[in-house]
């Protein structure tokens, strides 16, 4: 993928236009709500269908937005809690998470907690709503992610800086059009919104139905030169399909002078960013200008025409304060202007555990009556949020190599699907209350240690264990096993076998 990518688009024939705004596609989830609600003609679903942990809470302070009246709170002691959202594989989703604390953690915690949010195996961002909450506002985060499977997981993670129970107020999973942001390699990257603004505009945020995907365009009216644009811009020609309303105002001047714009207003962490800038003008005369970002050339001789134009870069490095400068070209008769802009942080995806292992672990989870509370979301990623008892391989093909749930007070049985985790080298499940038969593990050709001691396993020892050449330890003592110890486990060089405390028909051979 190239570091920079520029494109000028203004053809009205690239994408179809819409005579009426189509309905939103996806899920709107009112976290903590107990029933379906209609808000602004949209159906919001209760979140209990998508998550099994956490506690619904009501906000006692007054809120203007109905979806903020409830939230779901999560116990700090469990490091990860995940929503499981059914999606269309291969579709791009706009994910928006919204947070309003409301003081639900009590007087000992007047400020909201700071915590992480995770999508699939990628650490998306740190959630810090402190400043907004002081000002009585909610906080939202927005990103675009590709659905690589039948489900997307959204997780809340408690980290070392989390001092009270984390929470979430609302979640939105909206399908985006195929053309949107399609110069991004979504198989390897996601994008997280930093800012999306309509320049020269001072009204309420622009969103659905003006924006058919309910993206939020915030007002940015910081200028002494705001002017209405009365032309009809054919927004169907833009791959990113901005709402036509953002072209009704602009920042700029007819005077032949440069325009400097501090945008976004926040200082940016060092990273690569997707930047899209939108322009349109229908006044008489030519409006041609050069664009630079922090003094670095961005685009040369952009011609702001009535049908509109967008110019963007998909991986532009930025750090600290950002200034966009528009400078009139020698051939221009008018000064520069700008209508709107979007900027996203480009996120490298953190990887995903092998689907084979994920499916197997889900079956193992179902066979246990009391699995670890953090067994949700991706088992291995992000690394700091891997499931309790799970150790994973390095590299791009992420496999589970160790299952260690020793002394976890587990009951239930051990699912035969554990044998599908073919990269396992260690299974340690000793000192629990597991029952049922020991599964056939012949497919675990890399298995070195099998510790099932001090449980309630019954039935015979599978003779296939003796065919696993890599085995070094088989500890099965103190169970309810019957039959005989397989001959191919006895006296095998380099293999330690312990079977005392069972109900064998005859003692094992020396």
pLDDT digits (tens, 9 = 90+) for 319-373: 999 999 999 999 999 999 999 999 999 999 999 999 999 999 999 999 999 999 9
Residue in the block written with tokens 């059009």: 177
**The two structure tokens encoding residue 480:** 């309810």
320: left (phi over 0), alpha (psi -120 to 50) or beta: left
CB-side exposure of 239: number of CA atoms within 13 Å?
15
Task: With cut-offs at 50, 70 and 90, classify the pLDDT of residue 14.
Answer: very low
pLDDT of 384 above 80: yes
The pLDDT of residue 236? 66
Mean pLDDT of 168-197: 96
Compute the Cα dihedral for 13, 199, 202, 213 and give only its sign. positive
On whether the CB atoms of residues 426 and 381 are closer than 8 A, the answer is no
Among 8-12, 63-67, 465-469, name the one with the lowest average pLDDT. Answer: 8-12
**The two structure tokens encoding residue 436:** 């049922």
Task: With cut-offs at 50, 70 and 90, classify the pLDDT of residue 221.
Answer: confident
Write out the H or E segment, with its range, that includes residue 362.
helix 355-367
Higher pLDDT, 506 or 496: 496
Whether the predicted model's global pTM rises above the 0.85 cut: yes
179 CB neighbour count, 10 Å cutoff: 15
Cα–Cα distance measured from residue 56 to residue 360, given in angstroms and rounded to the nearest whole number: 30
Task: With cut-offs at 50, 70 and 90, classify the pLDDT of residue 7.
Answer: very low
Mean pLDDT of 273-288: 93
Q: Share the mean pLDDT of the chain.
A: 92
The pLDDT of residue 238? 79
The pLDDT of residue 406? 98
- List phi, psi (to 5°) of 478: 60, 55
CB-side exposure of 145: number of CA atoms within 13 Å?
30
Question: In this structure, what DSSP letter does residue 247 have?
Answer: G
Cα–Cα distance measured from residue 160 to residue 162, given in angstroms and rounded to the nearest whole number: 6
pLDDT of 232 above 80: no
Chain segment 260-270, per-residue pLDDT in tens: 999 999 999 99
Mean pLDDT of 138-165: 96
9-46 in b/e form (b: 16+ CB < 10 A) is bbeeeebeeeeeeeebebbbbbbbbeeebeeeeeebbb
């Amino acid at each position: 993928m190239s570091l920079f990518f520029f494109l000028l688009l203004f053809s009205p024939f690239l994408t179809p236009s819409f005579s009426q705004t189509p309905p939103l596609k996806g899920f709107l989830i009112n976290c903590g709500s107990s029933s379906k609600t209609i808000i602004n003609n949209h159906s919001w679903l209760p979140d209990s269908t998508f998550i099994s942990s956490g506690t619904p809470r009501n906000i006692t302070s007054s809120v203007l937005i109905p979806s903020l009246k409830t939230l779901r709170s999560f116990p700090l002691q469990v490091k990860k809690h995940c929503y499981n959202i059914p999606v269309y594989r291969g579709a791009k989703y706009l994910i928006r998470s919204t947070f309003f604390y409301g003081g639900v953690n009590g007087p000992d915690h007047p400020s909201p907690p700071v915590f992480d949010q995770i999508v699939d195996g990628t650490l998306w961002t740190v959630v810090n709503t402190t400043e907004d909450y002081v000002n009585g506002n909610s906080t939202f985060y927005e990103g675009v992610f590709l659905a690589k499977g039948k489900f997307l997981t959204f997780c809340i993670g408690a980290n070392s800086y989390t001092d009270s129970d984390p929470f979430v107020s609302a979640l939105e999973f909206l399908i985006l059009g195929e053309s949107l942001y399609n110069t991004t390699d979504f198989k390897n990257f996601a994008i997280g919104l930093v800012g999306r603004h309509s320049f020269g505009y001072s009204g309420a945020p622009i969103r659905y139905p003006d924006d058919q995907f309910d993206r939020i365009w915030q007002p940015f009216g910081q200028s002494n030169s705001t002017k209405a644009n009365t032309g009809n811009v054919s927004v169907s020609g833009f791959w990113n399909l901005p709402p036509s309303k953002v072209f009704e105002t602009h920042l700029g001047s007819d005077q032949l002078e440069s325009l400097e714009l501090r945008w976004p207003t926040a200082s940016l962490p060092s990273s690569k960013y997707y930047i899209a800038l939108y322009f349109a003008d229908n006044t008489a005369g030519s409006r041609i200008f050069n664009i630079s970002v922090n003094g670095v050339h961005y685009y040369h001789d952009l011609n702001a025409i009535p049908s509109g134009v967008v110019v963007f870069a998909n991986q532009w490095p930025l750090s600290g304060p950002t200034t966009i400068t528009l400078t009139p070209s020698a051939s221009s008769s008018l000064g520069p202007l700008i209508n709107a802009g979007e900027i996203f942080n480009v996120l490298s995806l953190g990887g995903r555990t092998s689907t084979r292992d994920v499916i197997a672990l889900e079956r193992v989870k179902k066979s246990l009556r009391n699995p670890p509370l953090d067994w949700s979301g991706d088992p291995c990623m992000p690394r700091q949020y891997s499931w309790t008892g799970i150790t994973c391989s390095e590299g791009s093909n992420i496999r589970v190599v160790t299952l260690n749930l020793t002394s976890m007070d587990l009951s239930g049985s051990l699912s035969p699907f554990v044998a599908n985790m073919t990269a396992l080298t260690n299974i340690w499940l000793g000192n629990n209350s597991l029952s049922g038969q020991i599964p056939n593990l012949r497919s675990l050709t890399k298995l070195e240690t099998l510790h099932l001691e001090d449980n309630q396993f019954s039935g015979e020892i599978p003779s296939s264990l003796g065919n696993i050449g890599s085995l070094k330890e088989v500890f099965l003592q103190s169970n309810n096993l019957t039959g005989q110890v397989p001959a191919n486990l006895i006296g095998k060089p380099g293999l330690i076998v312990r079977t005392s405390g069972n109900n064998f028909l005859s003692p094992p051979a020396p």
